[in-house]
Amino acid sequence: MFLSNRRLRRSDLRTLLLVLVFVASSPALTLAQLGGKPEKSNFTLSYTQASGAFTPLWVAQEAGLFKKHGLDATLKILNSQVAHQALVAGELDVISTGPELVNARLQGVPVKYIGGTLQRFVFQLWGGKGVKSLADLKGKTIAATTPKTSTEIATREALKKTAVISEKDVSFIYLQTIPAILTAVINGNTAAGTLSAPNTLKARDAGLSLLIDIAQVNVPGFHLAYGTTEKTIKAYPNSLYAFLKAAAEATVLAKQSPSLAKKAIAKYTDTEDAKIIDGTYEQFSPYWDAALAAHSEPIQGQLSYLDEKDFPRAKDARPGDFIDNSFADLLRSSGFLQGLGLK
């Protein structure tokens, strides 16, 4: 239903949230429940953008690692809101998500992070015509994807850390996708925009000005994390464990075999420019983490950012409420990560 009809009304989402309010927190999955064959082999997962951040997922698919671990995986590109709706409707098994999963759980949706490959924001803020420095942004607009999600949060936190101008000195507009942001900056419809590779490389080639390399500022955040419902955790634990084994192995492979990773980047970003492909790989690969265990710092940062008027539960929430690391913990305790050459 949700994948075939993406233009949902706000009331539709509100109804869905009310139906799926989680009554009681389930205990963490015990390791004794894992180790068997996947309960379901047909496995559908999503990613949000044609961004190099998702290269480990693409490598897992192209190198046959999902199949190796017993999954017939289908990858779908969906924006964050649609992906979350499809997940709770049972049309997706896992979503590639960012801080928006925190928002969803605070609104009563029974979802959790089960791992993360990229746990800092790897974005860059680029300025358009006449914007050569952060000081030039005062009183102007910055384009992000959607409100209170990764591009906006990363930019606001980076502005705080660089302390050249205040986040209150700028306003945000929302354009849904990274390519749309790049186009708006080039056309002068916004003063600046937050981008990820390969669009950062295209920004450079278009003569835009790099204002902040947010990855270098080191803003903790889930740029690429994996989320699912508590229902799926209970029903398909071995399928989820198989997924994370494939994700971990693919992350190691992407770092060890740049040529394979770059081939995947070229295919999924529909890019033939070798410089853009190389640059995309170079921007993201240093930050991929194959251990996958979700950290608390990105969640704590998201909780502190949220307005209590919109998210009254944020004040009393703790990072552990949003994480189930049972699968990632087993990757280490079983020796799987060590078998991949990780300490």
Q: In CATH terms, is domain 124-217 a member of 3.40.190.10?
A: yes
CB pairs under 8 A, 24+ apart, for 129-136?
129/188, 130/191, 131/191, 131/192, 131/209, 131/211, 132/209, 133/164, 133/209, 133/211, 134/159, 134/162, 134/164, 134/165, 134/211, 134/212, 135/164, 135/165, 136/191
| CA angle centred on 51, ends 47 and 54, rounded to 5° | 50
Per-residue three-class SS string for 104-119:
HHHCCCCEEEEEEEEE
Does 124-217 match 10-120+221-339 at the fold level?
yes
Distance spanning both ends of the chain, measured CA to CA: 44
Q: How far is CA 191 from the centre of its chain?
A: 25
What CATH number does the domain located at 10-120+221-339 have?
A: 3.40.190.10
Whole-angstrom Cα distance, residue 61 to residue 72? 9
| Token pair 């009183």: residue | 139
Whole-angstrom Cα distance, residue 123 to residue 223? 9
Question: DSSP letter string over 270-309?
Answer: T---HHHHHHHHHHHGGG--TT-PPPSHHHHHHHHHS-TT
Whole-angstrom Cα distance, residue 188 to residue 185? 5
Tens-digit pLDDT profile for the chain (343 aa)? 455 444 444 444 443 443 333 333 344 455 566 768 999 999 999 998 888 999 999 999 999 999 999 999 999 999 888 999 999 999 999 999 988 899 999 999 999 999 999 999 999 999 999 999 999 999 999 999 988 888 998 999 999 988 888 888 999 999 989 999 999 999 999 999 999 989 999 999 999 999 999 999 988 889 899 999 999 999 999 999 999 999 999 999 999 999 999 999 999 999 999 999 999 999 999 999 999 999 999 998 888 888 778 888 988 899 999 999 999 999 999 999 999 999 7
Segments making up each domain of the chain, as ranges:
10-120+221-339, 124-217
Identify any residues that bridge with 101 across adjacent strands, giving them in sequence order.
none
pTM of the shown model: 0.84
| Token pair 């068997």: residue | 36
